[in-house]
Structure 1
């Protein structure tokens, strides 16, 4: 599914005018709790198809797409005295959740926040590990992304400023591999771009004012099902994106 969708986008992006963000009534645009079972699948996992519902906007869904014997499995996150359902991406093969493009997932020049609760074991560390993103690194019109390359959380944005494409990266100072479940949050507030892990003091960079918009889907767990897809091999829960 995702490869066909990306092929359509890439073939037509030059002819399409980008549309600025259309905000929902709530500032929260995506909220995937990972509690539900993908449509048509069993709760035990090893999912290769089906879609997870979005609690923020019901018409959205994150649909499973796999390649190379990849799948998505059920796992659990301890949450105090209870547990929360979560999902785990494969150690081999490729798997991604795909949310089709809609203009309201482009922040434009507005403030925004993207977050995920993640768990990455040391054995799951890879050089490229994209947790959630909209747009690719070489996208000519913009991107927002949360990643765990080499186990180190970082956030990247790219967009247009004064007719030029500019990019910005903010990194956490250390790896979180082997540290259990951690909440990673990327946020832009005006000219400030930050990343925060748990309740730690955020790492901050400046010069973040830019217009971020593209015609790509949001992907969770990788950038696609292609061979070089920067597959995240860990577990994830509570993926959210909000504007404002």
Structure 2
């Protein structure tokens, strides 16, 4: 949905059930109509705002165990788990990349009674929470946006509510060396800021995993685009712009063969050179609002809308 420059108004604690179907839906890209339900006579009913039910609410402490991974020869090795991440099972399958142009876009406009899928109904996102963290769908100019838990002020971070949206493994979202565009619209105030606030990411920048990420980090409200290959170096484009001003901002990251651009509200604001050989491919799912559920997950606070990933698309 289109973003507007106004503060999202919460609808309160209007609880509703997110119908996610059977377990088979969670195991693959099950088709689902992205549009809202229709009333009798074919008239479309308004999307329903409210609280999203988590697929399990965990209060387990963050794991410090190494996450198993695999070398190109298929041998299991141990890699450190990034802070805030949760170890995932090793997949025996080789890591693939997108074979052609790919476009995935989430508007969140179907309402809490429908699965959260992209506009084509093929890429599922699951609400996950810890310590009572919940996501809400809130009204935003005729549609809905995702509101995240308020910035936590508890004395111990391990007790803070955390909540994210997470997909499943999808190697079609690995760009490899292809042109890549990804981003979202965000609404934040300075009260939502912290040392880390991840908006969209796939993968991690440590452990030789590779990553693309959009974040709003530190207390200055600066957005930044981050990509990393399997080597240790991280590339970040960060403009000196404060987007935590209580209005909606469209943030976009654009990777060309040799440069990474940060685009704010349609205007390029920062860029850094990147090597053409840098490839991004990992087994991690797409995540929105944090890099996991464990302590130190760079939890986002505020609201997110219009998330997209485009692979193989160049700027005209």
Shorter-chain TM-score range: 0.7 to 0.9
Structure label with greater radius of gyration: 2
CA contact (8 A) 2:98 2:311 kept: no
Partner in structure 1 of residue 266 of structure 2: 199
CA contact (8 A) 1:132 1:220 kept: yes
In 1: Cα distance, 2:113 partner to 2:166 partner: 14
RMSD (Å) for aligned C-alpha atoms: 2.5
Partner in structure 1 of residue 202 of structure 2: 134
Structure of greater relative contact order (alpha carbons < 8 Å, 6+ residues apart): 1
Partner in structure 2 of residue 120 of structure 1: 188
Deviant stretches of 4+, over 4 Å: 1-4
User: Structure 2 matches for 1:1-244, cutoff 5 A?
Assistant: 10-14=67-71, 15=76, 16=92, 18-23=94-99, 27-28=102-103, 30-39=104-113, 51-56=115-120, 58-78=121-141, 83-91=142-150, 92=152, 93-150=161-218, 151-160=221-230, 164-209=231-276, 210-244=278-312
1:179 to partner: Cα distance: 4.4
In 2: Cα distance, 1:148 partner to 1:220 partner: 13
In 1: Cα distance, 2:285 partner to 2:171 partner: 10
In 2: Cα distance, 1:70 partner to 1:13 partner: 32
> Which structure 2 residue ranges, 5 or more long, are not aligned?
1-54, 77-91, 153-160
1:166 to partner: Cα distance: 3.3
CA contact (8 A) 1:130 1:222 kept: yes
> Which structure 1 residue ranges, 5 or more long, are not aligned?
41-50
The structure whose residues are more often strand, as a share, is: 1
In 1: Cα distance, 2:119 partner to 2:225 partner: 24
1:88 to partner: Cα distance: 0.4
Query: TM-score, normalised to structure 1's length?
Result: 0.82
Query: TM-score, normalised to structure 2's length?
Result: 0.64
Tell me the matched-pair count: 222
**Pair 17,172 (structure 1): closer, same or farther in 2 beyond 3 Å:** farther
The structure whose residues are more often helix, as a share, is: 1
